[in-house]
Amino acid sequence: MTTLTPATAAETLATVAWAAAEESPLEILGHGSKRGIGRPLQTEHTLDLSKLSGVTLYEPAELVLSAKSGTPLAEIEKLLAENGQQLAFEPLDYGPLLGGEKGKGTIGGVLAAN
């Protein structure tokens, strides 16, 4: 299995375009905290989005936040807490439930799997 780890949106686009042209399915993950959910995937390639990390926009007064998909949820929650804010929902941390580490989920995984 090949792990493809793009560091930019352009590299991600090129990787997905290549996989589509080759008709090659991709497993897409951030930190893999939800890998144990559902049926095992049968792919030759993994698209690892963990390098696409970081908050790109945060305006506390406007309650607006934008982050890249590989941004750890813990990082976002810490930033919000520093400004007396929190998420309006409580995403489940699957790590301990699935035998992994606590706090390893990403915002992309929260949106993709919740």
> Is residue 107 scored above 80 in pLDDT?
yes
Residue 58: give its domain's CATH number: 3.30.465.10
pTM of the predicted structure, to 2 decimals: 0.84
Pairing mode of beta strands 2-4, 45-48 = parallel
Domain residue limits at 42: 2-113
How many Å from the N-terminal Cα to the C-terminal Cα in the chain?
Answer: 27
pLDDT value of residue 98 = 82
When pLDDT is averaged across residues 71-86 and rounded to a whole number, the result is: 96
Give the number of domains in the chain. Answer: 1
Q: Which of 68, 84, 82, 95 is nearest to 12 (CA)?
A: 68
How confident is the prediction for the chain on average, in pLDDT? 91
pLDDT value of residue 34 = 80
